[in-house]
Structure formats: structure tokens, C-alpha cells
Amino acid sequence: MRHPVRYLCILLLSCAASLSLQNALAWDSAGHRVSAAIANHYLSDETRRELLRILQQHPRYREDFLDQMPNSVASGDEQEQFDWLLGQAAFWPDITRGLPEAQRSRYNRANWHYIDGAWLRGAASIQGNSYIGAAPFADIAGTTVYQEAAADNVMTALDFNSALLADQQAPLPQRAVALCWVLHLIGDIHQPLHVGSLYSARHFRTGDRGGNGVETDQGNLHARWDRALRDEGIRDSFNAALTRHSETLAGLTAQNAGDWSVWMNESRALLLNTVYTEEMKTTIARVDSGNGQLPAFELDNDYVETMKYHAGMRLALAGRRLALWLDENL
């Protein structure tokens, strides 16, 4: 059994080391590492061994993993090193944005991190776009895909990478890259601003790009949700998730761990009901009518606390579902 205090200190060090690399596309480095830590808390020892075996065959294992490992982790025991490696793997798809061009074009897939709000499949039977004075788009009927060329959003990217990772006959380097994407995308699909956008008649005719176009007092709305738990850090976020949501996490079973459309539907409900406030919608409608310019919205304490609560819940669910899927399929 791992020593809990030592384990959490390692998580904090790993977060600090990776935050300097770049801005994340969805949950920031701390967020992705929290979901990986929660997954690791539930994983079987057999699955941990298999994950390490696969990850060690990653084509950039030396450059992006071993060479980036903090000395304090590298000098620790194997469990501490695995803790850090799993978090690094969950964050790695964002690291690919900063690779040299040849490597970036090989590994970076910008459109895998999100999905069009009109795209429907399975349990996600309601659009994730919020429309203000604009006619809703026609529904897009999505299908399951198993070829990389056909993967063009977070749902189909999960289809492709999960199938590749679970394929015992596939080359290990390919499975290792797929492992990073599965760890990352299960986190991404739980972020509400990655499953839809806001459209209005004039100001956001082409959409607000998942909240990126809505400014707040401390950055755009998308960024605020991405880094919702950064101030709390990994230690407090990890402890809070396991304490506050323990009954919910314990109640999940393997049946909850294979339908991405259920997770997307949950995120869309949060997007439509919580992320965009009535003040935001009313102000956007007024600006659309020609009255003034869109201001930066001040997120009050109630909004921020609600955002932190839901971010913690979403990351906790992502981590538990990761563990269930990995234990079931590897």
C-alpha cells in the first residue's frame, strides 16, 4: 500500500513540473493529473503492471517521460514513478502541441479534444449548443468509428483509441500512444465546454468556441473551467474527490465505463444549465440587438464555488471510469 502523504507530495511535484510546459487544451495539467490519480487509486495491481509495460514502449518515452521526470521522483520507488508516469501520460496529448513540427504533425490531433454541439449519438440525444436568437442547427447523426482517418472529434477519437489500446495484437508503440489519448480524452469529454458552444444571431454567429469567446474577470470562460481546481492543487482536489464523491464513485460499475455518449450527455446538461448564466445570455442578447459591447463578466463567489464543485465531480467521475475501463479491457 502506498504511503498517502508521500504519494500526494509526488503528485504536487509532478504538477509543478508540467505546468511550465504549456497551456492545456482542456483541463489543465493539474486537472488531468487529478483524474489519473483517481484512476490509479482504484486500479488493480495487474492493470498497473500492464499499463507500465505498454507505456514503456511509447515512441517518445525517453524524451517526454523519463527526461521530464523530476529528480525527486526518479530517485523514489517504482510506485512513485508509476504515479508520475500515469499523470504524464494523461497530459501528454497536450504536450504534443509544443513538439517540433515533424513530431507535432505526427502526434498532435487538435480536433480530437472536443465535439460539435449538434453531434448526437446514443444517450447524447439532445444538442449541446446554447442558442440565443438563432435557429438551432440540424442534428448530426454520429456513428462509431474504428479508423484513425475517420476520428474527428472526442467521441470518435475515443472509439478509435480505445479499440487500438485494447487490441492485444497491435504494436505496443501504437498502443502506448493510444493509452495516452484514452487517459486524456476521457478527461476531456467530462469538461462541459468541450461538448458544445454558444451561438447568437449576431455576436456569436459562428459560435463562442466553447466559451473561448466569452471573457470573464480572470480570462475567458473556457479557461476558467479548465483551471477550476488549480488553486486547490492536486492534494486537496484528490482528497476532496475521494471524500465528497466516495458514494457516487463506489456505485459505478463496469457497465458505466464504456458508453462515451452517457458522459457527453452529462457534460452537455451541465453546459446548458450551469456554465452559461442568465446574465450572460441576457447581455449577449442585448449586444446582439445593437446595445453596447460585450463586457468581461465577473464570476461571483457562488458561480466560482459551483464551478469548482462540478469540476471536481467531473474529474472524479472521469478517473473512476478510467479505472473501470482499464481493468475491464486490458
Please count the residues of the chain.
330
Q: What does the pLDDT look like over 10-68, one tens digit per residue?
A: 343 333 333 333 333 568 888 899 999 999 999 999 999 999 999 999 999 999 999 99
Q: Is the pLDDT assigned to residue 324 strictly greater than 70? A: yes
Residue pLDDT, tens place only, 296-313: 999 999 999 999 999 999
The C-alpha cell at 32 is 488531468
Query: DSSP string covering 290-305, please?
Result: TSS-PPPBP--HHHHH
The Cα-based distances of 129 to 136, 174, 301 in angstroms read 8, 34, 26
The predicted model scores a pTM of 0.90
Q: Which amino acid is at 267?
A: S
Interatomic CA distance for residues 288 and 116, integer angstroms: 23
- Picking from 104, 106, 65, the residue whose alpha carbon sits closest to that of residue 87 is 65
Three-state SS at 124: strand
Label the pairing between strands 198-200 and 130-132.
parallel
Phi, psi at 132, each rounded to 5°: -120, 105
The pLDDT of residue 253: 84
Cell of 323: 479505472
Q: Give per-residue pLDDT as tens, 169-185.
A: 999 999 999 999 999 99
208-233 per-position pLDDT tens digit: 999 999 999 999 999 999 999 888 77
pLDDT in tens, 100-158: 999 999 999 999 999 999 999 999 999 999 999 999 999 999 999 999 999 999 999 99
Q: How confident is the model at residue 7 (pLDDT cuts 50, 70, 90)?
A: very low
- Side chain identity at 4, as an amino acid letter? P
Per-residue CA distances from 23 to 92, 133, 167, 215, 226 (Å): 12, 33, 32, 17, 10
